[in-house]
Structure formats: C-alpha cells, structure tokens
Amino acid sequence: MKSFDVCVIGSGPGGYVAAIRAGQLGFKTAVIEREKLGGVCLNVGCIPSKAMISAAHFLHRMNHDAETMGFSFKGDVSLDAKKLQSWKQSVCDRMSGGVQQLLKGNSVEVIAGDATFVDSKTLSVKASTGTEKVTAKNFIIATGSRPIEIPGFKFDEKDVMSSTGALALESIPKSIAVIGGGYIGLEIGGYLNKLGAEVHVLEAQDALLKGVADPEVVQVVARKLKKEGVNVHLKAMAKSFSKKGKTLELTAQVEGAEKKFTVEKILVTVGRKPNSDEMNLKQIGLQIDERGFIKTNEQRRTNLPHIFAIGDIAGQPMLAHKASYEGVMVAEVLAGQNRVYDAKTVPAVIFTHPEIASAGWTEEECKAKGYTNLKVGKFPFAANGKAVSLMETDGFVKMIADAKTDILLGVHIVGPEASNLISEAVLAIEMGARLQDIALSIHPHPTLGETMMEAAEATLGHAIHIIQKPLTSARPQPQAKA
C-alpha cells in the first residue's frame, strides 16, 4: 500500500496542474492516470484538434490565397492523410511527454491504472500488472468528461464517431454528417471541409452556437461556413441511420420534414457529460447534482472535506483553462492559502474560421443583471492594416460597457487570432478597467492588437480608423465662464 499527502485522480489539464503545484508546495503527491498523461485535452481533444485546424487552414491558404499573393504551383497540392495523422500524433506525444517531465521534475509519482474508491480514504488501482491500494490525506478528483451518445447513434468510431474517432481519421471521408452545431462540431466539421470533405451540419436549434456566443459574432462564422461550402441545416433532428454498402443513409427531421443524407461518416457532437458515474463516488457518500456534476464549494471542496473536485466533473464551464485554474487553487488551499474560486470571467474560444473569443457578458446577459444603460461599440478587422496584410478581414471586436461608469462588462471577438486577443480583455475585466484604460494604452502598430484599442475608442464614440457618428458624450463640452 502506498500513502501520500495528496493523490490526484486524472492527469488532464486540471489534474496534472494540481499535482505539479502540490509537489511545488512540498506535498508527497501522486497522480493516477488510466490512459495517457495529459488526459483528453492533450491527447484526443484540444491539442490534436488545433493541430488539425492549423494544417487545414494552411492547405486552404495555399489553395485560395497563395495565387492572389503571387505564388503559383504546378499541379494540385496533395494531402497524405496518414502523414498528417502522424504529424498530429507527434504534437500530442510531445505535449504528453512534457507533462511527464514536469511531474517528474516536481517529485510527483505517476501511477498508471484505473482507480476506484474502496472507501473515502482508500483507492484500488487496477493496472495491467495487477492491483494496488493507495491511501492519501487528501484526494483531488479530476477525471473529466466524455462525449454524449444519442439514441440510434452508438459510437463505434468507424461509421459513427465521437470527436475522438474523428481526430484519428487516417483518410479524409468524401462526405460526413455532423450532428450538433456546437463548438466541437463546427471546429471538426470546418477543418474536414477544408481538407476536402462534403460536410453537413445538423443543428437542432434555430441558430448555430445559440446561447454559446454573441449572436452578431456567430453570424460572421455562419456566413463564412456557407461561403466555404459547409451545408448547415437548422431545426434538424437526426433520427436514425442505415448502412447502404459503403455509405450511410441518415434520416433526419429538418424544419418538420423528413430528409435523408447519404454520407460516408457520421460525427456526433451534442455535448459531453461528467464521468461521475465511475469510481464508486456515490457509494462513498459524495454528493452529485442532477446533471452529474460533483457538488463543491467555492474552494472546490466536496461534502467530504478531504476530497476535492476540479475541471469538467465539478461543473460548467467545461474548459481546460478553468480546470487548470482550479487545480492550482486547490493545491494552494491545501497549503493553507486563502484562496477561493472568484474569477470574474472565464474566457471562451471557438476555433472556427474565423475564430470566436469572448470574455465577460453579452448584451442580453448585461441587461439580465441590471445593466440596462450600455455603451456598445465595434471595430472591424477590415480597417486594421495587419488583418488586411494577412488577408483575414472578416469579423470585428465588440465591446460592451456600463454607460454610467464606462467599466468594461464584455468583449466579443470574431476574426483572426481572436484566441490570443481575448487575454487583454480578461485582464481588463478582472481589474475592473474602464474603456479609457484600453483606449489610452498605446498599442503597437501594425498589429491585430490595435483592434482592442480602436474598439474601446469606438465604444466611447471617437474611433479614428472608422467613420462613426459622434456620440454627444464624446464631444468636448464648453467650459462655463467665470
């Protein structure tokens, strides 16, 4: 039997970060992983999908932008899908190997196996070499989530795939139906379209990314998808499918009428659910809510005081960076530091083309929270020199502020490098910054980052590089005579 101060179960972006910080703080720490270090994110999620998106965008630019810039090629650019998979895997392996080195460098013991609670203070870890018992003073559960299946579409990762199967394709299908127009479906469907697949997206709602991103932002991506040949079907419910030789015939209800799609593959991306039905969590008395998330307080402590839960299994938003934040926080709580989960905003990024990124609230959310008097401004990438030079001019930066105080409440970006630009907005919102703080901060030229400064100026009513009707409050006011 092995004993530790801290035992982390799961080595995803929440778990491995928690283990590293615990090791740095001097705790005797172990991390248990049943698959690969780095979890879903590094191996079958965030990292491989971004590698594939990067490759697809590279190919797309060669085929569509290179000639405009003056480059020409003899013959078509061909794709070796197996070699692409090999490169993608090398990216994942490099990241996973880096995690292994970081854990080792911080004296964290890695235990390979599938963990189950025997009681609230003991784990049974089953591995290929046998079973061992592990005890700890404190446990951090970071076992994440998995894709949701829908009736009639059981995953076999060949015909009907989850995101895991789609990211492992060694040949690009001629056609694919993507069930679910959320961020995972649009990311994977988008890059497969660029790699040559005919893509049909079936979304049950009347709009893509409904409730996930600012509606104005989504419109830009929807138009781009249409322009690039992605077939989006709204108010579409997938009902069943049958195999017809080498193809699949999918039956769906689209706006109330039955419609059939003949495709080579089906990808189901309707969301993810927490892995709280594993490890005997209920049996040891852990409280789990009706959605399957482990109940925690503001320090991510469960109803059993020595057990914490972080990441996807601890509730929304189910994002890697939120899990990492919680991992550091819990380790520091265990060290006696006064930490609670008090982030004002958790940024969200969707790696569509163009990218979407947001921090803070939408206009609708601002009004729901009592901010009825708002300043809202936008600055388009088409007016930014760097974006023009990149031939990436779709989209804009949108800022929302309280009209009474000019305090920034939300930033929504759709355009090139939105994923990188949003960090400035996160810092501004966390600091309680006003529009003037961004507008009066000198931004380097020529950069995409200038759009943040210009959007702040536009929201104040005096943008330089777009023509806008001046706001009354933006005009200098005459001084009263003595």
CATH number at residue 354: 3.30.390.30
Amino acid present at 192: L
Do 429 and 398 fall within a single domain? yes
* Final residue belonging to a domain, choices 229, 250, 270: 270
Do 141 and 8 fall within a single domain? yes
* pLDDT bucket at 74, cuts 50 / 70 / 90: confident
> 403 pLDDT exceeds 70?
yes
Q: Which domain holds residue 54?
A: 2-146+273-334
Tell me the pLDDT tens digit for each residue of 433-456: 999 999 999 999 999 999 999 999
Question: What pLDDT sits at residue 475?
Answer: 52
> 275 pLDDT exceeds 90?
yes
Question: What pLDDT sits at residue 216?
Answer: 97
Tell me the pLDDT tens digit for each residue of 82-141: 999 999 999 999 999 999 999 999 999 999 999 999 999 999 999 989 999 999 999 999
Please indicate, yes or no, if residue 329 is contained in any of the structural domains: yes
Percentage, residues of the chain above pLDDT 70: 97
Question: What pLDDT sits at residue 378?
Answer: 97
Percentage, residues of the chain above pLDDT 90: 95
Do 50 and 166 fall within a single domain? no
Please indicate, yes or no, if residue 152 is contained in any of the structural domains: no
Give catalytic residue positions.
445
Question: What pLDDT sits at residue 479?
Answer: 60
Question: What pLDDT sits at residue 443?
Answer: 98
> 218 pLDDT exceeds 80?
yes
Please indicate, yes or no, if residue 363 is contained in any of the structural domains: yes
Please indicate, yes or no, if residue 439 is contained in any of the structural domains: yes
| Alpha-carbon dihedral sign for residues 110, 114, 118, 124 | negative
Do 18 and 135 fall within a single domain? yes
Do 171 and 258 fall within a single domain? yes
Residue 193 CB-density burial (10 A; 0-12 exposed, 13-18 middle, 19+ buried): buried
pTM of the model: 0.94
Question: What pLDDT sits at residue 481?
Answer: 58
Average pLDDT, integer, range 187-199: 98
Do 235 and 381 fall within a single domain? no
Question: What pLDDT sits at residue 77?
Answer: 85
Do 169 and 259 fall within a single domain? yes
In sequence order, what are the beta bridge partners of 350? Answer: 356
pLDDT, the chain, mean: 96
Question: How far apart, in whole angstroms, are the C-alpha atoms of residue 406 and residue 437?
Answer: 10
Do 250 and 319 fall within a single domain? no
68-71, Cβ contacts within 8 angstroms, sequence gap of 24 or more: 68/391, 69/391
Residue 128 CB-density burial (10 A; 0-12 exposed, 13-18 middle, 19+ buried): exposed
Which residue is associated with the tokens 């769906």? 252
Do 135 and 10 fall within a single domain? yes
Do 49 and 136 fall within a single domain? yes
CATH of the domain at 106: 3.50.50.60
Please indicate, yes or no, if residue 251 is contained in any of the structural domains: yes
Do 142 and 170 fall within a single domain? no
Please indicate, yes or no, if residue 473 is contained in any of the structural domains: no
Question: What pLDDT sits at residue 470?
Answer: 66
Question: What pLDDT sits at residue 128?
Answer: 87
Question: What pLDDT sits at residue 472?
Answer: 54
* Phi, psi at 194, each rounded to 5°: -65, -30
Tell me the pLDDT tens digit for each residue of 334-364: 999 999 999 999 999 999 999 999 999 999 9
- Contact between 459 and 435 under an 8 Å Cβ cutoff? The reply is yes
Question: What pLDDT sits at residue 480?
Answer: 57
Do 9 and 93 fall within a single domain? yes
- Contact between 313 and 145 under an 8 Å Cβ cutoff? The reply is yes
Please indicate, yes or no, if residue 342 is contained in any of the structural domains: no
Structural domain count of the chain: 3
Average pLDDT, integer, range 401-422: 98
Please indicate, yes or no, if residue 340 is contained in any of the structural domains: no
Question: What pLDDT sits at residue 476?
Answer: 53
* pLDDT bucket at 477, cuts 50 / 70 / 90: low
* Final residue belonging to a domain, choices 270, 291, 319: 270
Q: What are the residues whose beta carbons fall under 8 Å from the beta carbon of 362, sequence distance 6 or more?
A: 214, 215, 400, 410, 412
Length of the chain: 482
Average pLDDT, integer, range 160-184: 97
